[in-house]
Chain A
Amino acid sequence: MNFAVLIPILLVYMSIMSLLAYYGYKKTVTESDYLVGGRNIHPAIMALSYGATFISTSAIVGFGGVSAAHGFSLLWLAFLNIVLGIFVAFAIFGTKIRKLSLDLNATTFPTLLGKRYDSKFITVFSGAMIFILMPAYTSIVLIGGGRFLQESLSMNFNLALILLAAIIGIYVVTGGIKAVMYTDAFGAVVMLIGMAIFLFVTYQAVGGIMEGHDGLTAMKNLVPQVLVDQGHQGWTSMPEFGSPLWWTIVSTIIMGVGIGVLAQPQLAMRCMTVKDDRALYRSVLVGGVFIFFMTGAAFVIGPLSNLYFYEKTGEIALTAAKGNVDLIIPIFINQIMPEWFIYLFTLTLLSATISTISSLIHVQATAFGQDILKTLGVKSLFGSKLNPSRIGVLIGVIAAVILAYLLPAGIIAQATAFWFGICAAGFMPALIGALYWKRATKTAATASMIVGFSVSIIGFLFIHLKESAAIGLSQAWFGKAAIFPFPWTHIDPLFYALPLSSAVFIIVSLLDKRTSFTQKKEKEPIISAVSK
């Protein structure tokens, strides 16, 4: 890569991002501006910001590389991302979330749940779960960004990490959600252009859609034996039903991330930032196209890279990348694309990193300042005039940097699945109940959240092999990496934590008359209107 070209491009890119962050800062006057963009964000900006937050570097490079190894089966995740992550999230859940947050004057995801169930505990507990557990996810996205800068710019990893954290911290502290969303939207446009070109060039390079698929199908006998033993049946087939690979792809990658998106605080709160339902409907259009060209493109490009590598070098992608799935997409780009595209893709990945981290830091900060401290009556910290949410940004950034040094290597996919899974099990029953079930009660929501988070965490610590082996607690306490045999070792905790938390939510709501929300007469009209 020619640094004499790349560095000026990066300077221009960062100047535009800085200008947008400054514009966000100038437009941020009230607390509502800082937290929910004054509830008047343009639908295209909301959709692009949502998409850019959703799609991190690991989704493109990491999951793209995984699809190169495992094949087109990951397209189920892209399909769920569009149907659940965009259509259901905006047009079905989003309209309800927007109305309820407006009626209850809620400006964060935990406050929305807390006010709906009339429970300070729910607000503080939700905020604490976000503030304590989200940094692990933030940190792995930061690590991904730092490694990317290290490789593409030959920058020192420590410097890259601190530089990224400092840039993001400054504009989240000053400009709040507006700065985050404006810069996200610009980054999303760069990502969209980069991935759309990448998809078209890839299909062209393998001879077209039918020719590419046919060629890949014919390579079935080249799947490495170690993957065949795990259930791999070729890049254009699903893995063998019930095999370890099937459980990993279906329960963790497809269902865990695909369903988990609906209860992601940093994504759900985006629906609170628009003026009306019309904006959400319009966002479906932009969001659907954006996600198609992100995960849809990545999960098509990954498998097809095998055909390209085989035709050029006689090797499959995994072999060409010397077994490291994270290197498949970067190596493929270097071989297939012209030099100018490599600069564009550098900006694409930088945008994916910055947009995701800034949104996560903003949600962590509001969880700290609004959901925990403000709910507990703490209005300032250390006598500072600085809003506690802004102090939360600093704490979030520092925690992410520290964790980047503590977390073991190679856990990007696990940390992503961990965060998406615990959010689904912990928040989803209470969220759906809040939006659709008048009879849902405070006790039920509290019990469901505690069960969802507890069972998920136990599952990751002691049952699901990838995480339990990496953490080592199961080995230390029980003398084995996971306490139950296969298939439990490969079933994502979401598979049992979500049904359990849902069952607890329904049963307790039906049994519990004492704290039924319907007894709160002053809020009954709001819930009735939203639950229609």
Chain B
Amino acid sequence: MFMLGMEDGLIAFVWVATVVSALGCVVFGGIMWNRGGDDSK
């Protein structure tokens, strides 16, 4: 019943969400790496 060893599902969710959001920032930054340059201001 315990998810990731956490007693509360909300805590398990936020543990995963924190990791995923950081990875999401990496993916977003990678995808947008060359977009929004000077000429597209």
Measured CB to CB, the residues of A under 8 A from B are 71-73, 75-76, 78-79, 82-83, 86-87, 91, 95, 99, 209-217, 220, 233-234, 236-238, 275-278, 280-289, 291-292, 296, 300
- Taking the closest CB of chain B, its distance from the CB of A226, in whole angstroms, is 20
> Can you spell out 29 A-B residue pairs with CB atoms less than 8 angstroms apart?
A71-B11, A72-B6, A75-B18, A83-B21, A87-B21, A87-B25, A211-B5, A215-B5, A216-B5, A233-B8, A236-B11, A237-B6, A238-B10, A277-B37, A277-B41, A278-B32, A281-B28, A281-B32, A282-B32, A282-B33, A284-B25, A284-B28, A288-B26, A289-B25, A292-B18, A292-B19, A296-B18, A296-B19, A300-B15
A190 to B30, CA, bound (A): 24
Cα distance, A524 to B18, chains bound together (Å): 40
CB distance from A65 to the nearest CB of B (A): 19
Q: Known contacts A79-B18, A83-B21, A288-B21: does B36 contact A281 (CB below 8 Å)?
A: yes
Establish whether residues B5 and A209, one from each chain, have CB atoms under 8 Å apart when the complex forms.
yes
**Interface mask (B4-41 → A, CB under 8 Å = 1, otherwise 0):** 11111011001101110110111011101111111011
Given contacts A210-B5, A276-B40, 10 further A-B contacts (CB under 8 A): A72-B11, A73-B11, A233-B8, A281-B36, A282-B33, A285-B30, A289-B22, A292-B19, A296-B18, A300-B15
Closest residue of chain B to A288, judged by CB? B25
- State the CA gap A282–B37 with chains docked (Å): 11
Q: How many chain B residues touch A (Cβ–Cβ < 8 Å)?
A: 30
Contacts of A211 in B (CB 8 A): 5
> Smallest CB-CB separation from A281: which chain B residue?
B32
Taking the closest CB of chain B, its distance from the CB of A202, in whole angstroms, is: 14
B25 touching A285, Cβ below 8 Å: yes
> Quick one: given A76-B14, A287-B25, A291-B22, are A277 and B7 in contact (CB under 8 Å)?
no
* B11 touching A86, Cβ below 8 Å: no
Which residues does chain A contribute within 8 Å of B21, judged by CB atoms?
A: 79, 82-83, 87, 288, 292
Contact A82 B18 (CB under 8 A): yes
Given contacts A72-B11, A289-B26, contact A217 B18 (CB under 8 A): no
Question: Once the chains bind, are A209 and B4 in contact (CB under 8 Å)?
Answer: yes
Contact in complex: B11, A281 (CB < 8 Å): no
User: Which of the listed residues A209, A212, A213 has the most CB atoms from chain B within 10 Å of its own CB?
Assistant: A213
* Residues A277 and B40 in contact, CB atoms below 8 Å apart: yes
Residues from chain A with a CB closer than 8 A to the CB of B36 are: 95, 276-278, 280-281
Q: Which of B2, B25, B34, B40 lies in contact with A214, CB distance below 8 A?
A: B2
List of B residues within 8 angstroms of A214 by Cβ: 2, 5
Minimum Cβ distance to chain A for residue B24 (Å): 7
| Alpha-carbon distance A211/B25, docked complex (angstroms) | 28
A213 to B32, CA, bound (A): 36
Let me know if B18 and A278 touch, CB within 8 A.
no
Q: Are B29 and A288 in contact (CB under 8 A)?
A: yes
* A281-B27 Cα distance, complex, nearest whole Å: 11
Question: Given A75-B15, A82-B18, A276-B36, are A220 and B25 neighbors across the interface (CB < 8 Å)?
Answer: no
User: B22 and A285: CB pair below 8 A?
Assistant: no
Instruction: Identify which of A209, A211, A238 gathers the most chain B CB atoms within 10 Å of its CB.
Output: A238
Q: Which residues of B contact A220 (CB under 8 A)?
A: 7
CB distance from B8 to the nearest CB of A (A): 4
Cβ-closest chain B residue relative to A212: B5
B22 touches A276 (CB 8 A): no
- A72 / chain B contacts, CB cutoff of 8 Å: 6, 11, 14-15
- The chain A residue sitting closest to B11, CB to CB, is A72
Q: Which residues of B contact A234 (CB under 8 A)?
A: 7-8
CB of A213 within 8 A of CB of B4, answer yes
| Chain A residues within 8 Å of B26, by CB | 285, 288-289
CA distance A62 to B35 in the complex (A): 39
A75 to B21 Cα, complex, angstroms: 12
Assess the A238–B11 pair: CB atoms within 8 A. yes
Indicate whether A281 sits within 8 Å of B6 (C-beta atoms), given known contacts A72-B15, A291-B22.
Answer: no
- Please measure, in the bound complex, the distance between the C-alpha atom of A54 and the C-alpha atom of B11, giving whole angstroms: 24
Q: Which 5 A-B pairs have the closest CB atoms?
A: A288-B25, A285-B29, A213-B5, A277-B36, A281-B32
Nearest Cβ on chain B to A210's Cβ, whole angstroms: 5
Contact A277 B35 (CB under 8 A): yes
